Amino acid sequence: MNRNIQVTIIEDDDTIRNGYSFLIGNTEGYEVVSSYCSYESAALKIANDKPDVILLDIEMPGTNGIDAIPKLKKLLPHVYILILTVYESEKLIFEALANGAAGYLTKNTPSAKIIESIKEVKEGGGPMSINIAKMVIRSFQKNQESPLSKRETQILEQVCNGKSRSQIAKELFIDLETVRSHIKNIYVKLDVNSRADAIKTARENKLI
């Protein structure tokens, strides 16, 4: 008889954490062995929990999820880490994957997909939300001769998604003045004077 998939949840929001615990714990073939509100609290005990899969949030007090990935992998070399977050930033996605995350889901992912993804990641797969997978594919299709820096491209993508400058600053963990400066540089490099023209030019030239 197959052993249940052992899952640990690291998420600072009590309601969300308890919701995931209930969902996973009440699904046949799965068992929540522990749940924590931060990396720091998890680090004290998680090696003894011996989870197969860790569901990990990104924005948490103390060590954020991105920085926690290699620390968790050091404590549990064979664990699979599945990011579950509200963030869809290309920078965070690639940082998470580069640091050792096995999959990346957004929190609007349907419950059934989360359960399926835990099993998939345990079997060596790399599950991603549809929007995240599209973003990863798009990044490989971009014009490699772009005049824009990586950061400018990230910001322009956020502009295309309808994000305000303050939202962009928050999502990319930079200050508002830095966002304004990057947008000014984008306009100069693309020789445009408006958001609409910047988006149109970028899409026509496959810069995003």
Pairing, β 80-85 against β 103-106: parallel
The string of DSSP letters for 159-195 reads HHTT--HHHHHHHTT--HHHHHHHHHHHHHHHT-SSH
Distance CA 22, CA 11 (A): 14
Distance CA 32, CA 154 (A): 36
What does the pLDDT read at residue 139?
67
Decide: helix, strand or coil at residue 105: strand
pLDDT in tens, 186-205: 999 999 998 888 988 888 88
CATH classification number, 141-204, choose in 3.40.640.10, 1.10.1040.10, 1.10.10.10, 2.60.40.10:
1.10.10.10
Distance CA 106, CA 25 (A): 20
- DSSP letter assigned to residue 148: S
Going from the C-alpha of 93 to that of each of 87, 133, 135, 167, 198, the distances in angstroms are 8, 10, 9, 17, 24
Fold adopted by 5-129: Rossmann fold (3.40.50)
What does the pLDDT read at residue 208?
76
pLDDT in tens, 105-127: 988 889 999 999 999 999 988 88
Domain limits, the chain: 5-129, 141-204
